Amino acid sequence: MLLRIAADLIVLVHFAFVTFVVAGGLLALKWPKMAYLHIPAAVWGAWIGFANWICPLTPLENHLRRLTGEAGYAGGFIEHYITRILYPAGLTAGMRVMLGVAVVAANLLVYGICFARWRSRE
């Protein structure tokens, strides 16, 4: 029971982290020091995505699920939980890269706005 709860908590943490990677730059508009957390998270998230790696949380969750007798899943967290929600059927590798570039570009835009605000306060 505790291992299943731990696996479920890892899923929640993982989902929160993915959400933070995608949209955390918006928090820096309100709280500039949030950039110190978000920028490394965004770099990590982009690196995982572009390198087609699997986040270490995924095998940990799978391991916990197997210990409880549940089946793990193939692929990474994104493919298992988020892909069905965010990505349509037939999504190509090139389209995934373009989506990644769009997330990076959106964060660069947000940080451009942040930087302009921070400079205007000086």
Instruction: Report how far apart, in Å, the C-alpha atoms of 38 and of each of 42, 73, 78 are.
Output: 6, 29, 19
Beta strands in the chain (DSSP E): none
Direct distance between the N- and C-terminal alpha carbons of the chain, in angstroms, rounded to an integer: 54
**Higher per-residue pLDDT: 52 or 78:** 52
* Structural domain that includes position 11: 2-120
| 0.85 exceeded by pTM | no
Range 80-94 average pLDDT: 63
Token representation of residue 87: 């990505």
User: 24, 34 in Cβ contact below 8 A?
Assistant: yes
The pLDDT of residue 37? 95
How many domains in the chain? 1
* Residue 75 banded pLDDT, cuts 50, 70, 90: low
